[in-house]
Amino acid sequence: MAQLRGDAERNRDRVLVAARRLYAAEGFAVAMAAVAREAGVGVATLFRRFPTREDLVAAVFADTMDAYATTTTAALADPWHGFTGSSRSCATPLPTPGAAWSPT
C-alpha cells in the first residue's frame, strides 16, 4: 500500500477500529454507512479506502492473519515449540458479542 498522508492514515485507522467494534457487536451485516458514522468519517472517505465490504473485512482481519503467518513461519524453525506456540496463537478466543476486538 502506498504511503498515506497523516490524516488519511488516521481516518483509515478510525474506520478499522469502528468496523472491529461494530462487527463484534452486530456481525458482518452492519451497513458501511454505520461504520463510517461510528468512525466519524464520511461515507466517501470509507469507500475511497475500502471500495467493497469484502475489502473492509479483509483489512479488519489482516493484522491477525499476518500474526498467524509470522507464528507459522517461526514454527518451521523449531517444530515442537512452533506447533505449541502456533496452536496457542490460533486458539485465542474470539470476542464475545458486544465486546471490543483488536488484533493480537
User: Which sequence spans correspond to the domains of the chain?
Assistant: 6-90
For residue 64, pLDDT over 50 is answered with yes
Alpha carbon of residue 53 to chain centroid: 13
CATH architecture of 6-90: Orthogonal Bundle (1.10)
Lowest mean pLDDT of 34-38, 50-54, 65-69, name the range: 65-69
For residue 92, pLDDT over 90 is answered with no
What pLDDT is recorded for position 84?
A: 82
14-24 residue pLDDT tens = 999 999 999 98
Helices then strands (H, E): number in the chain? Answer: 5, 0
Q: What nine digits make up the cell of 66?
A: 499476518
* pLDDT band, residue 100 (cuts 50/70/90): low
Q: How far is CA 26 from CA 21, 52, 80, 95, 99, in A?
A: 9, 18, 38, 12, 10
